Structures are given as C-alpha cells and as structure tokens.
C-alpha cells in the first residue's frame, strides 16, 4: 500500500520504475490488474483531465469507480469536515484519489486515511501524478530525462505542476532550469532553497525569447485566476506570455517540445497545435497509463523497490504555526506539525517555510 502525496518522497530510481510500469501497461493492457477493487475520486475542485484520466485508468485495469466532481453535491455543504469525509470514504473504497483547493490537504488526508491516498492536486502545492506523466512524455519524446534544459513559463508562484516537476527533475543528472515569470508570480523560495541545497543550475528571467535556443522542454502554464488573492494583480499578469508559430517555429531547437498541463487559456496560440513542437495533447493522453501504474502501485499490485528513507524531525504544536492562509491547518483540526529539513522549519502539510 503506497500513497502518492508529494514527488519529494520518491527517489529517481523509484520514479523510473513507475514510468517503466506505465510503459508496460501502455504496451500490454492489463484489464484484470485490480479487478474487484474500488477507487474513490473525490474532486473538491474542477478538473477535466485528471479526474477523467484517473477514472479511465481505473476502468482499464479492472476497478470500479465512485466519487464526486463537485463538493456542492456532498455533505461538505452541511458542514462536514475533510477529516470525516475521508473517514467515510475509506470504508467505501480501496484507494482515494483526491483533488482539493487547500495546500497540504493531501498530506492531511493521508494522515487520516487507512487506505492509500493519491494526490490529484492540492491547492498551489503539488500535483505528483501530473509530474509523472510529464516525465513519461519527456522520456518518450527526448529519449532521456537526464541532461535536459527546461524553461518553466507563466504562473510559477501558484503553479503546483511546476513545483512538482522542478522537484522531480532535480533528482536527475545535468538539469538546467529557467524560471520565466514576472517577479510577482516567480517560483517560491521553498523550491529555490531545495535546488540550492542540491546544487542545481537555475536562473530567474522575465523573457523566454532570450533563452529559447537553449531549451529542450518549454513548460507553459496558465495564469491561474482562481488562485490570486488580488484581482488587480491578476489583471496585470494575464496574457503576459503568449507563444505562437511566429514566436517559436524556427527560433528554437528542432526537437524542442512544448508541454502544458492544460487547460490553456491564451498562452499557447492554437496555430502551434499542428507543429512538431506541440506535445500537450499527447502528454495529457499519457496520463492514462501513468495513472494506471500509480493506482496499481498504490494497491500493491505492481512492485516497486522502495528505498527505506530517513525521516526528518517532526514537531507537533498545540497552536497553528503555519502562516499560509490557504494551508489546510487553517481549515481543519490538525496536529500543526512542522518538519525540520537542513535546519529550516517547514509546515508538514503545505511545505511553506515557517
Ligand atoms: N492538468 C490538470 O490538472 O488538468 P485538469 O485541471 O483538467 O485536471
């Protein structure tokens, strides 16, 4: 039984093994892998790809699926806590796949549940299943994950897919990152601290054009209106990066790939869709075998050689100590735990530095 909460918990070899299982399932479907198991998809936030591909993945490996796609149709409306929702669901399903609007909600659910939890995106924090399908696509298209130069473009502050992918890539050799964003929505310090500790080469820039020729993977993201506390800031940020045939074709490496977790708004012009660089629809389709592998692994039906990991020091607190307004600790009764990493203190749930 293995939960997937943060990509941080997985070693490079473990990631490669999961990708290998996904490739095997893509090439040799196994409709009986988790026959008679039940997967619960609890989506407290809108989704098209993640929910549908997890559902498709569950069906394709033999599971039945229950769940909801809108919290307004659940007892959350009557005031039920996330804790109680999870305690109920663990009696109805063998694995919980959850998307939630609060940072750290997945970690909290995993603490509460006695079945494995798969994080399908928690607030602005992490999106590990997206990361695994991003890596799967990079490996298939570039033939490697080592020695890749990636430019992350757009909303890097709130972009959970960016946070998870930068963390995952930093486990591989020879990585170089460009974080392309206006200062107000640049990559959070938690991520750059981790990169600094690992000696990863990265640069914060405001214009992708100056670095385009060096890039193997152009990772575009949407400016996420729903995450901005200040609407005027969103109005200033929206439309800041728009790529099109004019700005990309002939100005980048021949084999540069454009990835995007989707949905897109206007940041990738549709005139790029029929170019060899546009991989975002194939990337989304890869979500099915990758999520099959995750569910199979979570339920112990696929074997991965997990390395025993050293546990960081955890401190419990009576009062809330995390200052992140969107952290699950502001909404649920938790142990207000703090994790000590390299002498710095981070919220155990949302990962923000205390
Ligand atoms: N990439 C992604 O998470 O898409 P959805 O929000 O549609 O699930």
Percent of the chain at pLDDT exceeding 70 = 100
Phi, psi of 61 (to 5 degrees): -110, 15
Mean pLDDT score of the chain: 96
Triad 66, 162, 279: Cα angle to 5°: 80
Break the chain into its structural domains and give their ranges: 7-127+286-298, 130-284, 313-347
Catalytic member of 41, 50, 221, 334? 50
Q: How far is residue 198 CA from its own chain's centroid?
A: 20
d(CA 20, CA 290): 9
Phi, psi of 292 (to 5 degrees): -60, -45
Q: Across residues 230-237, what is the average pLDDT?
A: 90
Decide: helix, strand or coil at residue 51: helix
Q: Which residues line ligand 1 (CB under 6 A)?
A: 47-50, 121, 130, 261-263
Instruction: Give the predicted TM-score (pTM) of the model.
Output: 0.96
Question: Beta 338-341 vs 344-347: how paired, if at all?
Answer: antiparallel
Both tokens assigned to 163? 């946070």
Both tokens assigned to 90? 């663990």
d(CA 348, CA 354): 10
Q: Is pLDDT of 309 > 90? A: no
CA of 43 to the centre of ligand 1 (A): 11
Sheet holding 201-205, edge to edge: 201-205, 176-180, 149-153, 217-220, 257-259
First to last CA, the chain: 31
Q: What is the pLDDT of residue 310?
A: 84
Q: Is pLDDT of 203 > 80? A: yes
Q: What is the pLDDT of residue 342?
A: 85
Express each pLDDT in 96-130 by its tens digit.
999 999 999 999 999 999 999 999 999 999 999 99
Helices (H) and strands (E) in the chain, counts: 11, 12
Q: Which residues pair with 257 in a beta bridge?
A: 217
Ligand 1: atom nearest CA of 48 is 7
Ligand 1 atom 3 nearest Cα: 50
Ligand 1 atom 5 nearest Cα: 47
Phi, psi of 89 (to 5 degrees): -65, -35
Q: Which residue of 97, 133, 263, 280 sits with most ligand 1 atoms within 8 Å of its CB, as the best mutation to test the pocket?
A: 263
Q: Across residues 131-136, what is the average pLDDT?
A: 98
Express each pLDDT in 39-77 by its tens digit.
999 999 999 999 999 999 999 999 999 999 999 989 999
With a CB cutoff of 8 Å and minimum separation 6, the contacts of 23 are: 136, 289
Instruction: Clarify whether 50 is annotated catalytic.
Output: yes
Of 246, 248, 245, 229, nearest to 237 by C-alpha is: 229
CA of 262 to the centre of ligand 1 (A): 6
CATH number of 7-127+286-298: 3.40.50.1370
Q: Is pLDDT of 1 > 80? A: no
Q: Which CATH number fits domain 130-284: 3.40.50.1370, 3.40.50.1980, 3.40.50.300, 1.10.40.60?
A: 3.40.50.1370
d(CA 177, CA 201): 6
d(CA 341, CA 207): 33
Ligand 1: atom nearest CA of 99 is 8
Domains 7-127+286-298 and 130-284 are alike in CATH topology:
yes
Ligand 1: atom nearest CA of 51 is 8
> Residue 240 — left, alpha, or beta (φ > 0 → left; ψ -120 to 50 → alpha)?
alpha
DSSP E strand stretches across 242-290 = 257-259
Q: Which of 69-73, 179-183, 281-285 has the lowest mean pLDDT?
A: 69-73
CA of 161 to the centre of ligand 1 (A): 10
CA of 283 to the centre of ligand 1 (A): 12
């Amino acid at each position: 039984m293995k939960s997937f909460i943060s990509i941080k918990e997985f070693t490079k070899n473990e990631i490669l093994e999961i990708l290998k299982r996904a490739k095997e399932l893509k090439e040799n479907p196994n409709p009986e892998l988790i026959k008679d198991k039940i997967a619960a998809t609890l989506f407290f936030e809108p989704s098209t790809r993640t929910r549908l591909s997890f559902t498709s993945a569950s069906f394709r490996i033999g599971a039945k699926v229950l769940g909801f796609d809108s919290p307004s149709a659940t007892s959350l409306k009557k005031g039920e806590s996330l804790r109680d929702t999870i305690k109920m669901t663990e009696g109805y399903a063998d694995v919980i796949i959850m998307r939630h609007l609060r940072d750290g909600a997945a970690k909290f659910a995993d603490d509460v549940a006695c079945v494995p939890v798969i994080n399908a995106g928690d607030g602005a924090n992490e999106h590990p299943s997206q990361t695994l399908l991003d890596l799967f696509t990079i490996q298939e298209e570039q033939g490697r994950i080592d020695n890749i130069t990636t430019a992350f473009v757009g909303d890097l502050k709130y972009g959970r897919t960016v946070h998870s992918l930068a963390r995952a890539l930093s486990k591989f050799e020879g990585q170089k990152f460009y974080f392309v964003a206006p200062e107000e929505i640049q990559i959070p310090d938690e991520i750059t601290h981790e990169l600094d500790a690992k000696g990863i080469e990265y640069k914060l820039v405001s214009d992708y054009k100056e670095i385009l020729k060096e890039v193997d993977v152009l990772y575009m993201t949407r400016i996420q209106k729903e995450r901005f506390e200040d609407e005027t800031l969103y109005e200033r940020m929206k439309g800041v990066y728009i790529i099109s045939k004019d700005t990309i074709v002939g100005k980048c490496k021949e084999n540069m790939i454009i990835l995007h977790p989707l949905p897109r708004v206007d940041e990738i012009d549709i005139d790029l869709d029929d170019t060899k660089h546009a991989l975002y629809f194939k990337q989304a389709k890869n979500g099915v075998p990758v999520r099959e592998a995750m569910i199979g692994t979570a339920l112990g039906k696929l074997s991965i050689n997990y390395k025993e990991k050293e546990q960081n020091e955890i401190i419990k607190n009576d009062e809330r100590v995390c200052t992140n307004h969107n952290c699950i600790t502001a909404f649920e009764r938790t142990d207000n735990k703090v994790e000590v990493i390299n002498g710095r203190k981070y919220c155990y749930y949302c990962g923000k530095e205390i």
